[in-house]
Amino acid sequence: MTQSQARTHLIELDDVSKHYGTVRALEGVSLEVDAGEITCVLGDNGAGKSTLIKIIAGLHQHDGGVLRVEGEETRLTSPREALDRGIATVYQDLAVVGLMPVWRNFFLGSEPRKGVGPFKRMDVDFMRRTTHEQLLRMGIDLRDVDQPIGTLSGGERQCVAIARAVYFGAKVLVLDEPTAALGVKQSGVVLKYVAAARDQGLGVVLITHNPHHAYLVGDRFVLLKRGTMVGRHTRDEITLEELTRQMAGGSELDDLRHELEKSTS
C-alpha cells in the first residue's frame, strides 16, 4: 500500500446526495479534506454550497453516498456532534454579539470560571489575556480586546472567528463565503488568516464564488453547479484561467460568446 493510499482524510465525502422531497439539492458530490490543506468549494447561488455546508456541519443528514470523519463512516446528527468531532463552521453572518467586547465574543458559550460555590464567577482576566494571545498567535495584533466586536471591520470579525475555532481545538474549519461582503484589502486580510489556520495543521473547507480568492490559497478545488459536481481538481491539475473559465460556465460561456458575436456581426 502506498503512502497516499494509506492516508486517512479528516473528512471525506464519497458520492454524497441530498434531496428535499422531489428537489435535488446535491447529487453525487465527492471531496477530501486533509490536515494542512485547503479544499475550495466553488459555485454560484443555487449551486448546492449551502447544502454541502449543512451536511458537514451536522445540520442536515445526507441521504445518499458516504460521509467519513477521520476514516470512520458516519452521519452527523447535530452541530454539537460535529463540534465534538472537531468540525467548526464559521458562517457568513457570524454568530457574534456586536455590543459585547471582543474577549466576551471569543469565549461566548464557553466561559471559564474561577472560585467555588456562590463565589464562582467568570475568569475575566484569563479571557482577556487568552483572547489577546490567541489573536496574536494568528498574526492579529488587536491592542484593545475590550472594544465591542461590532467596531471591528468585517475582515477582522472573520479573523476573530477563525482564531476562536483554532483555540477551541477544531481539526476542520468550514468557512462560508468569508470574503463575500468584503473589499479587496479586507479579503486579503481574511485569506491570510485562512492560510495561517492551514499552516497550524487544520483542514480547511473554503466555500466561495470567487475563483481568484480560491486559487490564492487552495490545494483542491470542487466546482458545483445546480447541485452536481462539474469539476474536481488538485492545484497542479488546473490553472487560474481554466478554473475561472469553468466557474464562469466553460462551454456555455463559449456558446454565449459565439451567439453575441453573430448578433453583432
Asked if residue 177 belongs to a domain, the reply is yes
**DSSP tag of 1:** -
What pLDDT sits at residue 252? 58
What total number of domains does the chain contain? 1
Range of the domain at 210: 8-97+170-264
Per-residue pLDDT reduced to its tens digit, 173-225: 999 999 988 888 889 989 999 999 999 999 999 999 999 999 999 999 999 99
Q: Note whether 223 and 42 are within 8 A (CB).
A: yes
Give the whole-angstrom CA distance, residue 210 versus residue 41: 10
Cα separations (Å) of 222 from 90, 111, 250? 19, 37, 15
Helix (H, G, I), strand (E, B) or coil at 170: coil
* pLDDT above 90 as % of the chain: 66
The DSSP code sequence of 62-106 is: -SEEEEEETTEEE---SHHHHHHTTEEEE-TT----TTSBHHHHH
Give the whole-angstrom CA distance, residue 201 versus residue 220: 16
The bridge status of strand 113-114 relative to strand 121-122 is antiparallel
Asked if residue 114 belongs to a domain, the reply is no
Asked if residue 122 belongs to a domain, the reply is no
The grid coordinates of residue 204 equal: 480547511
How many angstroms from the chain centroid is the CA of residue 206?
A: 4
Instruction: Indicate yes or no: pTM above 0.95.
Output: no
Per-residue pLDDT reduced to its tens digit, 165-182: 999 999 999 999 999 888
Asked if residue 137 belongs to a domain, the reply is no
Asked if residue 38 belongs to a domain, the reply is yes
Give the whole-angstrom CA distance, residue 122 versus residue 104: 10
Asked if residue 143 belongs to a domain, the reply is no
Q: What is the CATH number of the domain that holds 62?
A: 3.40.50.300
Give the whole-angstrom CA distance, residue 206 versus residue 56: 12
Asked if residue 224 belongs to a domain, the reply is yes
What pLDDT sits at residue 4? 45
